[in-house]
């Protein structure tokens, strides 16, 4: 079976609901519209579902020009335009400092009411130079948006099926099978062998080629039901037993684009190296 691109997903605001797309533009720092916005706390540290699982229930729909329309259960819809690019605010994401532009007070009030915490929304105005990819796994000049660390994340349906088989044999079998949205990938590929992505170094999805940077280390977000915000034990319990790399539990692979272009659902996937 020839591998094909089964689905494409963006997350306009980091940690909010994933949105499926039939196609997406690949920019050097990730898919267009993916994680250009993030939420920060009173100390200007990025907050995600790790701290606020209810972020999974909030939706940010992209608007022309780069703005977003925020909605969440029990809260009115709020339109947020891209803020003027000055002044910037220094925010912290996983111990690194990045300049971002704060949205207005209406967005801060909306998010603070929903999350019952003092937070605000910020935008990455210049992803071409704001946040470099980890130099241990990047080429000079490569950058990333507010994704955890790399421009894109790819996962395969065969590996999810294999993981679900392992979960079914474990002590929390009642939690499975898990859907792919637990892993919040950008690209989902079908038609491979389970765990085939472990050996990939370069691949082409339609007209765009990517370099595989490293496996994706997984966190507590994967235990969060993306439809209810409730947490369980899986898949971390099973991944810890069967899928570890350099001390991390892993699922999926981080990608860096080698050039720009468009990826479309149904595109043929070729493993180049």
Q: Tell me: the pLDDT tens digits for 63-79?
A: 999 999 999 999 999 99
Confidence of residue 1 (pLDDT cuts 50, 70, 90): confident
Q: Which tokens in the block code for residue 163?
A: 């993981």
Q: Which tokens in the block code for residue 230?
A: 């409730």
CB 180 within 8 A of CB 197: no
Q: Tell me: the pLDDT tens digits for 118-142?
A: 999 999 999 999 999 999 999 999 9
Q: Are strands 187-190 and 152-156 parallel, antiparallel or unpaired?
A: parallel
Look at residue 6 in the predicted model and tell me its pLDDT. 98
Average predicted confidence (pLDDT) for the chain: 97
- Over pLDDT 70: what percentage of the chain? 100
Half-sphere exposure of residue 177: CA atoms within 13 angstroms, side-chain side: 11
pLDDT at 86 over 90: no
Look at residue 215 in the predicted model and tell me its pLDDT. 98
Q: Tell me: the pLDDT tens digits for 154-212?
A: 999 999 999 999 999 999 999 999 999 999 999 999 999 999 999 999 999 999 999 99
pLDDT at 38 over 90: yes
Look at residue 11 in the predicted model and tell me its pLDDT. 98
> Averaged over 9-29, what is the pLDDT?
98
Look at residue 133 in the predicted model and tell me its pLDDT. 97
CB 232 within 8 A of CB 172: yes
Closest by alpha carbon to 7, among 271, 269, 239, 270? 269
């Amino acid at each position: 079976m020839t591998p094909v691109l089964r689905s494409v997903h963006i997350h306009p605001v980091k940690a909010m609901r994933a949105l499926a797309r039939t196609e997406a533009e690949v920019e050097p720092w990730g898919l267009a519209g993916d994680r250009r916005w993030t939420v920060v706390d009173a100390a200007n540290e990025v907050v995600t579902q790790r701290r606020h699982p209810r972020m999974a229930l909030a939706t940010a729909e992209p608007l022309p020009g780069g703005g977003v329309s925020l909605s969440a259960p029990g809260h009115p819809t709020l339109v947020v335009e891209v803020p003027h690019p000055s002044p910037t605010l220094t925010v912290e994401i996983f111990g690194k400092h990045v300049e971002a532009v704060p949205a207005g007070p209406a967005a801060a009030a909306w998010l603070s009411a929903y999350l019952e915490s003092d937070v605000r929304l910020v935008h990455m105005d210049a992803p071409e130079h704001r946040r470099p990819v980890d130099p241990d796994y990047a080429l000079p000049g490569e950058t990333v948006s507010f994704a955890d660390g790399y421009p894109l994340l790819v996962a395969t349906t065969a590996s999810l099926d294999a993981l679900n088989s392992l979960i079914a044999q474990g002590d929390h079998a009642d939690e499975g099978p898990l859907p792919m949205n637990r892993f919040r990938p950008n690209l989902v590929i079908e038609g491979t062998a389970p765990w085939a992505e472990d050996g990939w170094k370069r691949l082409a999805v339609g007209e765009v080629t990517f370099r595989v940077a490293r496996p994706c280390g997984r966190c507590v977000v994967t235990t969060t039901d993306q439809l209810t915000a409730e947490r369980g034990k899986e898949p971390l319990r099973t991944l810890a037993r069967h899928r570890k790399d350099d001390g991390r539990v892993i699922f999926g692979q981080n990608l860096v684009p080698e050039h720009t272009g468009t990826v479309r659902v149904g595109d043929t996937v070729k493993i180049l190296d």
